[in-house]
Amino acid sequence: MTDTPKSDTPSSPQRPIWKDIFSQANLTTGLAVFAVVLAGAPYVVPKVQSYIVEKGMLNRPAMLMTASQAYAAQKQAADAKAMAVSIKSRHDSLFEDKTDPILGNPNAPIKIVEFLDYYCGYCRAVTPELKAFLAQNPDVAIIVKEYPVIGQNSRPLAARALAAAKLGHYEAVHYAFMTDTIKTEADLDAALIKSGVDPKEILALAGSDEIQNHITRVLSLGSDIGVTGTPTFVIGDQAIDGAKIDDVKKAVADARAARK
């Protein structure tokens, strides 16, 4: 056992600790720090909140997925609304361009606009069902917008299809291009011959300024209204992207009901 040594000299009275805490210098420093914190709050607090939210979402993948899906849905709705406005503003270019080829009854009261590319797998896949749908619904026609965006070989086919339209053979050439495998010039010529047209005559027409300008005009139109892929269908002021034939049929049914 040890004892604490005792001083032989008397100790002086101690200064109360609260006087040191609330001294003028400490008060001044404390107020300055508090002012800095308040000044930085609008910047610091949101960052802290953002960090907390981010960490919380990363620790809960289901929450992150829900938020992502909600954002995607909101963006899709906003894009559809913006596209509807663009479609209305370009209505005549979409539905009244007399140089566009038409599939089905040209006098049909219900018109569908289709942006397509002959090298688009989805366009090719949906073609047989669209063809059958037109045969069963004579009050519906498809205005074709040749929209060659898939690759460098897309535009030559689009130009030849438009050339065939000028000769009155568009439908035959269109369906041949959509169903045949075309990888070479020989394949292309064979599809044209099968459709009843002369490949050389078609080639000469396809290179004309009229047809090339037509394609350029359609490409610009598609870009203006927000077409990002093929096929894209436009019915009224509604755009349907992808080979969603059921959505197309529903839109046609709605258009038919609106006419009654």
Domain range list for the chain = 91-259
pLDDT value of residue 205: 97
Enter the pTM of the model.
Answer: 0.72
d(CA 256, CA 76) in angstroms, rounded, equals 26
> For residues 156 and 184, is the Cβ–Cβ distance under 8 A?
no
pLDDT value of residue 260: 82
> For residues 222 and 97, is the Cβ–Cβ distance under 8 A?
no
Beta strands in 47-124 (DSSP E): 102-104, 110-116
CATH of 91-259 given 3.40.50.970, 3.30.413.10, 3.40.30.10, 3.40.50.720: 3.40.30.10
pLDDT value of residue 2: 36
d(CA 155, CA 198) in angstroms, rounded, equals 19
d(CA 111, CA 115) in angstroms, rounded, equals 13
pLDDT value of residue 53: 55
| Type of residue at 30 | G
pLDDT value of residue 83: 80
Going by C-alpha positions, the residue among 116, 118, 117, 113 that lies closest to residue 90 is 113
pLDDT value of residue 23: 53
What does DSSP say about strands 110-116 and 140-146: parallel, antiparallel, or unpaired?
A: parallel
pLDDT value of residue 33: 46
What distances in angstroms separate CA 14 from CA 5, 19, 60, one per listed residue?
Answer: 19, 11, 56
**SS3 state at 155:** helix
Strands in 110-116's sheet, in edge-to-edge order, are: 102-104, 140-146, 110-116, 232-235, 238-241
* DSSP run (H or E) holding 107: none
pLDDT value of residue 54: 58
The number of angstroms, rounded, from the C-alpha of 38 to the middle of its chain's C-alpha atoms is 44
pLDDT value of residue 66: 73
| Residue stretches of the chain with pLDDT short of 70 | 1-61, 63-65, 67-68, 70-73, 75-77, 79-80
d(CA 33, CA 18) in angstroms, rounded, equals 20
Going by C-alpha positions, the residue among 245, 244, 224 that lies closest to residue 145 is 224
d(CA 63, CA 60) in angstroms, rounded, equals 5
pLDDT value of residue 182: 94
In this structure, what token pair is assigned to residue 155? 């535009």
**SS3 state at 110:** strand
